[in-house]
Amino acid sequence: MKLNDLVIVGVAAATAVGCTSAKNEYASFELYPVPSGSLTEMEYTPQTTRFSLWAPTADEVRLMLYEEGEGGHAYRTVSMEAGEEGVWHAAVDEDLMGRFYTFNVKIDDRWLGDTPGINARAVGVNGKRAAIIDLRATDPEGWSEDRRPPLQSPADAVIYEMHHRDFSVSPASGIAHKGKFLALTEEGTRSPQGLSTGIDHLRELGVTHVHLLPSYDYASVDETRLDENQYNWGYDPLNYNVPDGSYSTDPYDPAVRIREFKQMVQALHRASIRVILDVVYNHTFSVDGSNFERTVPGYFYRQTPEGTYADASACGNETASDRPVMRKYMVESVLHWVNEYHIDGFRFDLMGIHDLETMNEIRAALTAVDPSIIVYGEGWAARAPQLPQDSLAMKANTHRMPGIAAFSDELRDALRGPFNDNAQGAFLAGLPGSEESVKFGIVGAVDHPQVHYDSVNYSRAPWAGQPTQMISYVSCHDDMCLVDRLKASIPGLTPSELARLDKLAQTAVFTSQGIPFIYAGEEVMRDKKGVHNSFQSPDSVNAIDWNRKALHADVFAYYKGLIQLRKNHPAFRLGDADLVRRHLEFLPVEGTNLVAWRLKDHAGGDAWQEIVVVLNARLEPARVAVPQGRYTIVCRDGLISEAGLARVTGGELTVPARSALIAWK
């Protein structure tokens, strides 16, 4: 999701609600019982399959068994029995392997309709019925030996955000399983010019993490009509705990999507790349007919004081993370993805809708499994959530969520221009006034004595306790990609000028003390034909054209060089606010559209005693005074070479127009 947190105002909500009548003893949501056990709804053995459903307001619950994942009628109906803590139970003493099931809840003489439950782990086509399978049978060969690639610190991460279809669907990708999970398992794929694509391309580029746009079961793509090339980003959740069928080779077979997702993760891990899942717990595709609403009406969604459904997501609803069972559900869900699918991190869509307590519980649960699992999100909401702002996981409260990061729209918009005006430029366009906001991003949104926060675009104070709590980026799937934004905000750019500014932008991202994040295809100058909200645009808009890798070989080499430079030199990824304050010093410059700093005293134990970085967005060369010394230039005029491009002695460095310079002594 996009949008900026400037529109957010905290709103306190009334408690109770009455979207649907409930049992008298549960007159308010605070009185609903919280299950002490897991929310797991199906446990299979060849002898007995046990079903359970948390439905505390139900008068009656039925379990429906089906032969197929769609069509036909239930061949058997089983009445479930009410148990403690609002949980209903049923057991079927026969081998149900390969069958499907739904629940139907009755409240006040009204049956709410079939649902696979809130916690289906396997589903049939389009996710309308849950499936009975043995998850262990979906494990690919060697799955038990699969391990996360090493990661010493989140500061070491380099994140690559991608959509399955965008990445592989182009005929130029050379990939057989176009638009599928398996696309990321294919090695040796090549563009028409013989350059690496797919997973080999990611390995060559040097990224450490792939951020997958929503890959759980979402509602907007009809899995029975995949030949029609439907497209969606997937921010419309249906079943949170099972992979989407449209990215599998057979959406009708419940085991296939699970096995192929695991094969993808396994292949990426073998390539030393971790996997981040984009999760959208803040809203569902709809309220009416949703799995939540057909199970416990009203409970999983927030309401306005007037009793209508709240809508901080601008998608029709907002979920109630602050209610104990929703919080429990979210914690169990991320743990399921970690334990079953070996996921290495999570990006939370509209994280500002969730409450701080829930996000901190999620962080604690993941840390108990593996502290290196990354968590970050959008520190804003589309509209004001129904909780006080100081209780929400907003960007301004990031310092109260240790181990959780937020995107920095300060740096993004300082570089390219405001999110709400595609034609307006900023630093890259040579417009004055964004320098302090760029500095804010360079230090990783932490407190630094040389940043004048009263001049920062959106934040008048640092919001990160550590630099690894800031995601550094200039574009993502939302809004225009970088090439399109540069074209829109700086009319008349020549191809060479466009490439220069693209490189300059990413130099800021990769030399920031935050965690660098790039959008898939930016390294080959991807464009989306000017479409800024391409969530359902065709492949002609969204697909990465792999011919561009040869056409823009210099840009790819620059991105690759930046990543390697960051990996090789810990000064660029100090990972600690005190170290940033101690070692990062901004250099005085005259005029605007110029930011310069040095990383001094072998920062982070770096072999280089001192590193100077200069970002020059001017139309002419800039001269920057530096401490006297003999400098080796490793980045200048759109080229990178750690062996050295030139050597300069003295107290001044000259930086060509619209470019970055990195030097060391």
Is the distance from CB of 641 to CB of 600 less than 8 angstroms?
no
List 161, 223, 318, 378, catalytic entry: 378
Instruction: Name residue 377's beta-bridge partners.
Output: 348, 406
Is the distance from CB of 436 to CB of 596 less than 8 angstroms?
no
The structure tokens listed for 232 are 């969606």
DSSP H or E segment with residue 437: helix 435-442
Residue 349: active-site member:
yes
Domains and CATH numbers, the chain: 34-138 (2.60.40.10), 155-284+321-556 (3.20.20.80), 577-664 (2.60.40.1180)
Q: Maximum distance among all alpha carbons in the chain? A: 86
Alpha-carbon dihedral sign for residues 487, 492, 498, 500: negative
How far is Cα 413 from Cα 475, in angstroms, rounded to an integer?
9
Q: What is the pLDDT of residue 229?
A: 87
Strand ranges for 420-579 from DSSP E: 470-472, 515-519
Closest CA to 396 of 383, 408, 386: 408
Which residue type occupies 157?
A: A
How far is Cα 563 from Cα 584, in angstroms, rounded to an integer?
20
Q: What is the DSSP string of 363-426?
A: HHHHHHH-TT-EEEE----SS--SS-GGGB--GGGGGGSTT-EEE-HHHHHHHH--TT-TT---
How far is Cα 359 from Cα 348, in angstroms, rounded to an integer?
10
How far is Cα 522 from Cα 445, in angstroms, rounded to an integer?
24
The structure tokens listed for 481 are 């990609």
Q: Please list, residue by residue across 244-278, b when 16 or more beta carbons sit within 10 angstroms of its beta carbon and e when fewer do.
A: bbbbbeebbbbbbbbbbbbbbbbbbbbbebbbbbb
- Residue 566 CB contacts under 8 Å (≥ 6 apart), including other chains: 158, 510, 511, 516, 572, 573
The structure tokens listed for 82 are 């009410």
| 608 DSSP 8-state letter | S
The structure tokens listed for 393 are 């996981």
| 320 DSSP 8-state letter | -
Q: What is the pLDDT of residue 20?
A: 41
The structure tokens listed for 556 are 């790819």
Series of mean pLDDT values for 10-residue runs along the chain (665 residues): 36 34 67 97 98 98 98 97 98 98 97 98 98 97 98 98 98 98 98 98 98 98 94 98 98 98 99 98 97 98 95 97 98 98 98 98 98 98 96 98 98 97 97 98 98 97 98 96 98 97 98 98 97 96 98 98 98 98 98 98 98 98 98 98 97 98 98
Cα atoms in the Cβ-side hemisphere of radius 13 Å centred on 3: 21
| 310 DSSP 8-state letter | P
Is the distance from CB of 310 to CB of 319 less than 8 angstroms?
no
How far is Cα 551 from Cα 558, in angstroms, rounded to an integer?
14
Is the distance from CB of 249 to CB of 256 less than 8 angstroms?
yes
Instruction: Name residue 78's beta-bridge partners.
Output: 63
Q: What is the pLDDT of residue 23?
A: 55
* Token pair 């080779």 in the structure block, residue: 249
How far is Cα 193 from Cα 195, in angstroms, rounded to an integer?
6
List 349, 413, 502, 610, catalytic entry: 349
- In 197-275, alpha helices (H): 198-205, 254-270
Q: What is the pLDDT of residue 404?
A: 98
Q: What is the pLDDT of residue 582?
A: 98
DSSP H or E segment with residue 243: strand 237-243
Helix and strand tally (H, E) in the chain? Answer: 13, 26
